[in-house]
Chain A
Amino acid sequence: MIELERISRRYESTVAVDDVTLSIAEGEFCVLIGSSGAGKSTVLKMINRLVPPSSGRIRIDGADTARLAVEALRRRMGYVIQSIGLFPHWTVARNIGTVPELLGWPRARRRERAAELLDLFKLPPGEFLDRYPHQLSIGQQQRIGIARALAADPAILLMDEPFGALDPITRETLQAEIAQIRRASRKTVVFVTHDMDEALRLGSRIAVMDNGRLVQVDAPLAIVAAPANDFVRELIGRDDLGLKLLSLDRVASRLRRGETAPGDAIGDTLTLRQALSRMIADGKDRLPVADAEGRALGAIHLADLLRR
């Protein structure tokens, strides 16, 4: 449980964060979104005290963070940044083991943990443990960056535009991976982005910030269905509001079980938006649906997509 209580951050003449109150429950995936300079990164950095609040209080599980030892506090939270920041002179194994090393874990256990995390990201440990960051692709580097944040199994994960520097395909893969990791571990995630699609895809709750203030905090569906003001509407994008809504739900929810349709099947975990895209591309108003193993489940109709 993270409670931000009326926190502000002022620089000489500007106010980066203005009186923000927000409480993030355990296991929640809270996305902070806004245009650049909205103060979302500053809020994130105040949680691990990389930026001290000018006023206000932050509590984690009831304890005021200002009273905790700052290094100990940071070791309890994973931290992932857009520019990744792997230590270039350390191997992948040592990079992942950064926090465990600071916590004094023995070497063998750190290496074992690093191998475990590489497995989680489907990077063969035998191949990757002893490589250096410059030998990896950007996508692999950011996987190591996330693995480093997860190494000591922190209850809280802070992510500052972690996928901002990645190409769209890698970004989507990593989004799927992080969503899956969170589902498996029930970590509390605070995630900063300026990409509404990413926010809608990942967040269990979305906090929209503008000019240092919190504008709207709601579930993804509520944000899209009832934007609080023009800024939020703008952020969602007026023109593809409908598509955004479709991207919040999956094929499985509108499936007509047992029905059949001609053509190539789509997976039941695709979003409705992806299903619509396929219908348009294939020139069909219904498509067969199959599960991950390729077993036929049923069909989905264009009309099903229009239901709210």
Chain B
Amino acid sequence: MMAKALRDPLLWASLALLALVLLMPDAKPAFAALFPALERPMFELDSFLDLTLWHLLLVGASSGAAVLLGVAAGIFVTRPSGAEFRVLLDTVVTIGQTFPPVAVLAVAVPVIGFGFDPAFIALLLYGLLPIVEGTIAGLEAVPAAVREAARGTGMGQLACLLKVELPLAAPVIIAGVRTSVIINIGTATVASTVGAWSLGLPIIIGLNAANLAYILEGALPLALLAVVVDLAFGRVLSSLQGWRRA
């Protein structure tokens, strides 16, 4: 049991991320040695723990909202009563996806100002497509015979959705959410162009000041964060499908 836990990549990736975030300032001599030309080799405007937590909050809030909206919309258009909105929904989420987040920020800032809010909206719109598509694909993959059996045995619409359709569609829906969240973790860096706190801050400042050390200091924890979250999703997915392996 213990040995198995120690071989767990999720555990090690999480510990590595934690260490990187907490111990980053201690790496200042290393960065100074790597980039001797730089006057400030270490980003010290805020702690990396703060930046990581803000980053997680931004991604969590926008992805959470995208999941609620996206799954609800996907369920709605796969019901007989919502079928006619399907094409409309497809169009809207595709536009949301093709519209670059930077452009959304440019439009949003004059309307709602700088900071967290415009970034939240841009990421929410950008993250909807994989979730909506995953929900629709997952629900449509539920075999017609299973749905007929559910109705034939006297399950109501809601019971059929909650007990049969969503559990069977869950792996495809979660896969969509996973894609969306991982993309959002990367995309959230642009939020720092409009003054939202995130791991993008050292990267944006580094780009403006041609400070490669800053860019690395933002990008390393960011990449590790994406790996940790991806591994966590993998864990959720396999736990949902225990019955397939039985």
CB distance from B224 to the nearest CB of A (A): 34
Task: Decide: A50 near B154, CB < 8 A? Known: A83-B145, A88-B168.
Answer: no
CB distance from A98 to the nearest CB of B (A): 5
Asked whether B152 lies within 8 Å of A74 as measured between CB atoms, the reply is yes
| A interface footprint on B164-181 (CB within 8 Å = 1, 0 otherwise) | 100110000000000000
Interface SS of chain B: helix
Q: Which residue in A72, A73, A85, A135 is a CB contact (below 8 Å) of B149? A: A85
CB distance from B61 to the nearest CB of A (A): 31
Q: Which residue in A89, A91, A132, A134 is a CB contact (below 8 Å) of B168? A: A89
Q: Does A79 contact B (CB under 8 A)?
A: yes
How distant is the Cα of A222 from the Cα of B38 in the complex, in angstroms? 102
Residues of chain A within 8 A of B149, CB atoms compared: 79, 81, 84-87, 145, 148
Asked whether B168 lies within 8 Å of A79 as measured between CB atoms, the reply is no
Q: Does A48 contact B (CB under 8 A)?
A: yes
Residues of chain A within 8 A of B159, CB atoms compared: 102
CB distance from B20 to the nearest CB of A (A): 39
Residues of chain B within 8 A of A48, CB atoms compared: 152
How distant is the Cα of A50 from the Cα of B154 in the complex, in angstroms? 10
How distant is the Cα of A87 from the Cα of B160 in the complex, in angstroms? 11
| B interface footprint on A92-126 (CB within 8 Å = 1, 0 otherwise) | 00000011001000000000000000000000000
Q: Which residue in B148, B153, B156 is a CB contact (below 8 Å) of A148? A: B153
Asked whether A85 lies within 8 Å of B143 as measured between CB atoms, the reply is yes
Task: Decide: A75 near B148, CB < 8 A? Known: A89-B167, A89-B243, A135-B246.
Answer: no
Q: Does A131 contact B (CB under 8 A)?
A: yes
How distant is the Cα of A98 from the Cα of B150 in the complex, in angstroms? 9
Q: Does B155 contact A (CB under 8 A)?
A: yes
Tell me the B104-162 residues at the A interface (CB within 8 Å).
143-156, 159
Q: Does B244 contact A (CB under 8 A)?
A: yes
Residues of chain B within 8 A of A75, CB atoms compared: 153-154
Residues of chain A within 8 A of B146, CB atoms compared: 85-88
How distant is the Cα of A81 from the Cα of B153 in the complex, in angstroms? 11
How distant is the Cα of A81 from the Cα of B143 in the complex, in angstroms? 13
How distant is the Cα of A73 from the Cα of B145 in the complex, in angstroms? 20
Q: Does A71 contact B (CB under 8 A)?
A: yes
Q: Which residue of A lies closest to B157 (CB)?
A: A71
Residue of A71, A85, A91, A98 most packed against chain B (CB within 10 A): A85
Asked whether A85 lies within 8 Å of B154 as measured between CB atoms, the reply is no
Asked whether B246 lies within 8 Å of A132 as measured between CB atoms, the reply is yes
Residue of A72, A75, A88, A132 most packed against chain B (CB within 10 A): A88
Q: Which residue of B lies closest to A101 (CB)?
A: B163
| A interface footprint on B71-107 (CB within 8 Å = 1, 0 otherwise) | 0000000000000000000000000000000000000
Residues of chain B within 8 A of A73, CB atoms compared: 154
CB distance from A298 to the nearest CB of B (A): 47
Residues of chain A within 8 A of B154, CB atoms compared: 71-75, 99, 102
CB distance from B185 to the nearest CB of A (A): 30
Q: Which residue of A lies closest to B149 (CB)?
A: A85
Task: Decide: A98 near B153, CB < 8 A? Known: A81-B145, A85-B143, A88-B168.
Answer: yes
CB distance from B230 to the nearest CB of A (A): 24
Q: Which residue of B lies closest to A98 (CB)?
A: B153
Q: Which residue of B lies closest to A75 (CB)?
A: B154
Residues of chain A within 8 A of B147, CB atoms compared: 85
Residues of chain B within 8 A of A84, CB atoms compared: 145, 149
How distant is the Cα of A73 from the Cα of B153 in the complex, in angstroms? 9
Interface residues of B (CB under 8 A from A): 143-156, 159, 163-164, 167-168, 243-244, 246
12 A-B pairs (CB sep. < 8 Å): A74-B153, A74-B154, A79-B149, A81-B145, A83-B145, A85-B143, A85-B145, A85-B146, A85-B147, A86-B146, A87-B150, A134-B244
7 closest cross-chain pairs (CB), A and B:
A85-B149, A83-B145, A74-B154, A85-B145, A75-B154, A79-B152, A71-B154
| Additional pairs, 16, CB under 8 Å, beyond known A72-B154, A81-B152, A85-B146 | A71-B156, A74-B151, A75-B154, A81-B145, A83-B148, A85-B147, A85-B150, A86-B149, A88-B243, A89-B243, A91-B243, A99-B153, A102-B153, A134-B244, A145-B149, A148-B149
